[in-house]
Amino acid sequence: MFTCLNLNKPIVKMKNTFVYALAGVLSLVCLAVEAQTMKIGHTRIDYILSLTPENKVITDLLTNQQKQTQTEINRLQQELQDKYALYQKGVAQMTDIIRKDRETELQGLQSRIQEFSRTSDEAIQNKYKQLIWPTVAKIQQAIDTVAKQNGYTHILSTGNTGAILYAPEETNITELVLKYLDITPGQNVGQPAKAPSPSTPAKRVAPKPAKKK
């Protein structure tokens, strides 16, 4: 039986090859156009934040609160150490009931100090974020405006939290942002803004239950 060959198949295959090739060329053209229209800048938002008057006011306020917290922690630690010293001095003459009562008291005071230190630090950190957020939002708005005015399509962060290892200085928009915010930096570079450091944790001095003789 004679079978007629399908002469259209090679033509279809050639058409598909041409379409794929054309698509590849168009993709390269699009990438080239996108690269030409993309303008990338960079800035340090932590540095800008450190120069704002709001940051200094907020940091000073919370630092004072933290000092008060640390004073209270120191008082409680001294109370714990004094009670522990009395416990050590008289533990040999204590009955089991008194000894257990003193140990429970010391362990409770120890836990109280640790919990107070933890919650105080969390409260200060959260308060800092709450107070500083409007300033951060204002800086972000300034960055957006400066970027649009100067034709930037992307702005990268090169501060402590950024992952950019190199960025040319001519694309640094920090000075433009500071000018927009009407901030004049001093001769020295400002320190990165951050919340107050955590309080000194309580030292563990509460005793373990003494072994029965």
Tell me the domains of the chain and their CATH numbers.
Answer: 40-181 (3.30.910)
Dihedral sign of CA atoms 53, 58, 59, 65 in order: positive
What Å distances lie between residue 99 and 35, 109, 125, 139, 192, CA to CA? Answer: 77, 15, 39, 60, 51
Model confidence at 25, pLDDT cuts 50, 70, 90, reads very low
- Please state, in angstroms and rounded to a whole number, the distance separating the CA atoms of residues 103 and 114: 17
- DSSP 8-state code for residue 199: P
Decide: pTM greater than 0.75: no
| 160 neighbors 192 (Cβ within 8 angstroms) | yes
Average pLDDT of every residue of the chain: 80
| 158 neighbors 44 (Cβ within 8 angstroms) | yes
pLDDT value for 130: 94
